[in-house]
Amino acid sequence: MQKKQKTSLVWFRNDLRVNDQTALYQAVKESEQVIALYCFDPRHFAETEYGFKKTEKFRAKFLMETIQELRHNLQQQQISLLVYLEKPEVTIPKLITDYNIEAIYLQKEWTSEETAVTDALKSALKNITWQETYDQFLFHPEDIPYTEFKKIPEVFTEFRKQCEKTVRVKSRLETPKLPDSNLVENTTVIPSLTDLGYEVFETPPKTAFPFQGGENQALARIEAYFWETKKLSVYKKTRNGLVGKDYSSKLSAWLANGSISARTIYWEVKRYEKEIGANEDTYWLIFELIWRDYFKYISLKHGNKIFQLQGILGKNYDWKFHPKAFQQWTNGQTKEPFVNANMIELQQTGWMSNRGRQNVASFWAKEWEQDWRIAAAYFESMLIDYDVHSNYGNWIYNSGVGNDPRDRKFNIKRQAEMYDSNGAFQKLWLQTSLF
C-alpha cells in the first residue's frame, strides 16, 4: 500500500472547483494533511507589448468571484485556500518550508507560459513529489484512440467520429470531506480590483453575460438553462443568437477557468436526455464540448505553432499591422456596422457571441489582412471566457493558418442579414443614447 504523504499542496490554476477535481481528489486520498493555494500572478495583470493589459477588468472580476467561491467551498471540505498576489515561484518555496510540504498536486498544463513557471519550480525544489494530471478534457488523453498526440487528425470531424465511437467519458469524482483538524490558520486575503490595478466598474445591464464567477454559479446556470427553462432542448436552433442571456448555454466562462468540468456538463446533458428527452439540440452541446477538446489536442500536438504567425500550416501570407486599423477595429469604427456592434459589445462587457467572434475575426484577418496574433491577444485580454487553446485555435482557424479545410471568408453583410435580420443587436450597441 502506498505510504501517505504527510502534507500536500493542491496548486489551483485553471481548475477552480471542488467537484470532479482530480488533483484535489488525489491529494485528499493520498495525504494526511491538504493545503490549497491560488496565486494571482502579477504577470497576468501587467500590460502587454501591444499596450493593453494581459487580463482586462472583466475576467479579473470574474476570477476574483471564482476564488471567493472556491475558498468557501474548500472550507466546507475543511481545506484552507491560501491566496497570494505573488508569482508562484516566490510563494510555493516559502509554503514548502513553512508547512513541510512533501507533494504538490496540480492540473497538467502544456502551453509555454504555464510550463515555464512549473519547470522553474521543479528545478528549484528538491525532494518534492509532483502529481500532475490532465483534467480539462471531456475525452481523457488516456482514452482517445491515438497512441501519440502527433497522430491527432488535422480535421475535426475525423477526430470527433473516432472518439465518439471508442471513448467512454469518465465518471465524476467526489472528493471526501476532511476532518476539522485539517484547516490551517489563514490570514491571506483575496485581492480586490483596485489591488490588481483596475477601477471598480459596473457592466451594462444589457450585457448577454450577466453572470458571476464561481463553481456554485456554474451549477446554478446549468440548473436554470437545463432544468428550469429547458432551453437545452432548443440549443442548436438558438446558439447563433446575439441578444440576451439564453440564446446559448454561456457555460464557456466557467469551463475556461475550470469552475466546472466538461465531464459534469456531459453527464448532466445525459441525465437531461434521459429525463426530458434527447434531440439534435441536446447532442449539440456535447458536440461543442468535443470542439473544445479538439483545440486542446491540436495545442498538444502542435505546441507553440498555435501562437506563431504562420500557424500550424506554416502558411505565408502578406500580413500587415496598422495601429490605426487596430484602433478602428477595437473601438467599433469600421465600415461594417455588424463588426462594430460586436466589438463595442466586447469592449463594454467582456463578452461576444460565437457568431460575432467568427465575423470580427474574418474581417480583421481576411478582409483587412492584419496580423491575427495582435487581435488574438486582444481577445485574450478582453474575454471573460478566454481559454488559451480555444482562443488561439479559433484564431488560426479563422485566419487561414489552422484547421479549417475550406479556408472560408465570411460575407459579413450576409451574416448580419441572416443573424440580425431586424437589426436589434446592432441597434443595441450602436445607438450611443443607450450607453
What is the domain partition of the chain in residue ranges?
308-434
pTM: 0.96
pLDDT of residue 433: 35
Report the C-alpha gap between 385 and 307 in whole angstroms: 18
Which tens digits make up the pLDDT trace of 145-185? Answer: 999 999 999 999 999 999 999 999 999 999 999 999 999 99
Instruction: Record the cell numbers describing residue 357, joined without a space.
Output: 467572434
Its sign, for the CA torsion 294, 298, 300, 304, is negative
Query: What distances in angstroms separate CA 309 from CA 314, 317, 360, 410, one per listed residue?
Result: 8, 9, 18, 21
Tell me the CATH number of domain 308-434, given options 1.10.579.10, 3.30.460.20, 3.30.365.10, 3.40.50.2300.
1.10.579.10
- Facing residues of 103 across strands? 8, 129
> How would residue 431 be classed by pLDDT, with cut points 50, 70 and 90?
confident
Q: Where are the alpha helices (DSSP H) in 235-353?
A: 235-238, 252-256, 262-275, 280-302, 323-330, 337-349
- Residue 370 DSSP label: B
Report the C-alpha gap between 374 and 63 in whole angstroms: 23
Which tens digits make up the pLDDT trace of 233-282? Answer: 999 999 999 999 999 999 999 999 999 999 999 999 999 999 999 999 99
